[in-house]
Structure 1
């Protein structure tokens, strides 16, 4: 019963992740210290905001050109009111606003605002709460250009603002703990990556062999994490995310039907690790961001954080797995956990391919 409860929790949690966002949303900011100006551009499918603002008058779930035209001013006011730039705690003033043509807005709405600040730019806070209060919430991928420096960030319900200083960049003592923590959080709170590690522990009882298998996974995802985060190799998430689900499903099948771990498990794990590394890179590059002036330490710290999180999961699970070894119910318990993992992997695969 407890296993079923855990499974259902993961099932509905993973379903909620996708929410009601129908397309990518981007937030771009160009900071111009010499002019005391910050330009902001936000773009996303206009139908998402139109549904949130209930512009669908005939309730047919389709935003027609006429409905968009009628509610266009309201849409513009809504988006503009949910963007803000402040300098040293003082709001900067909007001096120019432009937006996409009405005809293009259902699929590709955008709004640009230019802010001017009274004082010299110092401590800047950018706020973007567009659609963050909507059902299912929203995620905006952000890029902020400050001279030659480019920061990547994300705006969501947990992080609706992004703050930075135009003074000295963060020191290594500030940067390394942050990226270590981000790496740990991602592996521990990433259900697909956690499930893959869980299945490895189910498959391998020997400490030495488990060490070999986990090391092969670590080496592989470290390689693709670095290559993808530095944009040397780029593979679409629409390809990688279903493959991650397939990797979990394969490992679940191994745990269900094999009495002994496959001979070449380390090779399989290395191949799957290459795929998982791309998944880690999307989080680092798009959600956490890489500072251009401290690229190597940030990347290394994030990767080490991922490994620390992975080790923590194994240290928690392996003693339980060893304790269960030889018990009359061991095989049945392994197959139940692996079976639930397989169902979840199939669900993720369908979700990531079709939705």
Structure 2
């Protein structure tokens, strides 16, 4: 039993080390959206990308001083429009069509670039949309494509990837307008965002580290369940409010604050020890901020269209987050409990863990405020 326990302890400590040395922004950046509106005389196309994805192909820092000014951003708009238009292939009835103008590019408060293009059309039976830029973006980048008619009714929705970057749709088929209402289309949308939620929590190292810092003081099942439940309620609430555009906080505030919550919990573990009072209320309060962090993913993708609007993606994305969170907790909690109930190493484990968590939180805080 001693050998097994020692092996488990090493596994957990190795996992903590990986988290503590992960030099990432703590969110997978590979998300974007593509919205096509089919009007009687034109196609309106809107493309939304995170600025960090665009800058790799269309640099904005023209004077190379490591700082992008408002003037440099403004000057970069025509190049961004040409880049996106060149990588977007729109075909009608087998013939490629070009946009009527250079395209309009705008930036928002969520560090996104949005480009709008207008394509004049005549006969339109078969529509094909291909996002060629996915081949140049990092592996794993996903782009949510929505095709709607002039009334806003969704004709088709699909999550594009590097391996599958094209959607074909028959506009002349009356049944195509009902495609989104079919059970299979609903399931595909639910499945896409459910998987996206799982991926986000599994690669969201800051959220995982925060949850670990909260759970590292637990010794048994029910205290851990209480913490996880309060965290779930809190971030689900603000995820819904932000996703429905009822409450909005800028990412420049949310991301550093998330890092600060990690630092605080780590320090509290060091000061108050194994049984800090009111941990569930602390979890709820800080969980509200983490919910805005989760909502940033849907904001990046500009998900706001379709018959179900934001509701189905929001629900399935949140369920994916909860499923991933429960899966991670079920793996690490038995190891945490074994270490905490081992009198010889419990104190060293808690202190070592809390110091590592606080240091990682400090790293993210500096990265998100200074750099």
Tell me the TM-score range normalised by the shorter chain.
0.7 to 0.9
- Structure 1 residue 155: Cα displacement: 10
- Aligned counterparts of 2:338 and 2:194: Cα–Cα separation in 1: 31
Partner-residue secondary structure (3-state), 2:253 = helix
Q: How many residues align?
A: 336
**Aligned partners of 2:269 and 2:354 also within 8 Å:** yes
The gaps in structure 2 that reach 5 residues or longer are: 1-12, 106-111, 170-175
Aligned-residue Cα RMSD (Å) equals 4.7
The answer as to 2:97 corresponding to 1:83 is no
- Aligned counterparts of 2:83 and 2:304: Cα–Cα separation in 1: 31
Partner of 1:105: none
- Aligned counterparts of 1:138 and 1:308: Cα–Cα separation in 2: 22
- Structure 1 residue 74: Cα displacement: 8.1
Q: Cα deviation per residue 1:43-84 (whole Å; 9 max; x = unaligned)?
A: 8999x97995789999777999xx99xx99988765542232
Partner of 2:10: none
Q: Cα deviation per residue 1:179-214 (whole Å; 9 max; x = unaligned)?
A: 322222221221111111211220222322221121
Quick one: which of 280, 296, 301 aligns to 1:287?
Answer: 301
Residues 310 and 99 of structure 1, relative CA distance in 2, 3 Å threshold: closer
Residues 259 and 27 of structure 1, relative CA distance in 2, 3 Å threshold: closer
**Aligned partners of 1:92 and 1:118 also within 8 Å:** no
Partner of 2:258: 244
- Aligned counterparts of 1:308 and 1:16: Cα–Cα separation in 2: 18
Partner of 1:201: 215
Partner of 2:355: 339
- Aligned counterparts of 2:54 and 2:291: Cα–Cα separation in 1: 34
- Aligned counterparts of 1:301 and 1:60: Cα–Cα separation in 2: 42
Q: Which moved more, 1:55-64 or 1:274-283?
A: 55-64
- Aligned counterparts of 2:60 and 2:262: Cα–Cα separation in 1: 42
Partner-residue secondary structure (3-state), 1:97 = coil
Residues 259 and 130 of structure 1, relative CA distance in 2, 3 Å threshold: closer
Partner of 1:224: 238
Partner of 1:310: 325
Quick one: which of 96, 103, 109 aligns to 2:100?
Answer: 96
Partner of 1:32: 38
- Structure 1 residue 270: Cα displacement: 0.6
Partner-residue secondary structure (3-state), 2:307 = helix
The answer as to 2:18 corresponding to 1:6 is yes
**Aligned partners of 1:98 and 1:112 also within 8 Å:** no
- Aligned counterparts of 1:262 and 1:187: Cα–Cα separation in 2: 26
- Aligned counterparts of 2:113 and 2:198: Cα–Cα separation in 1: 36
Q: Which moved more, 1:153-162 or 1:186-195?
A: 153-162
**Aligned partners of 2:261 and 2:286 also within 8 Å:** yes
Q: How does 1:268-283 map to 2 (within 5 A)?
A: 268-283=282-297
Calculate the TM-score normalised by the size of structure 1: 0.73
Q: Cα deviation per residue 1:249-307 (whole Å; 9 max; x = unaligned)?
A: 11111223332232111110010111111111221343383554124343322222221
**Aligned partners of 2:28 and 2:203 also within 8 Å:** no
The gaps in structure 1 that reach 5 residues or longer are: 20-24, 102-107
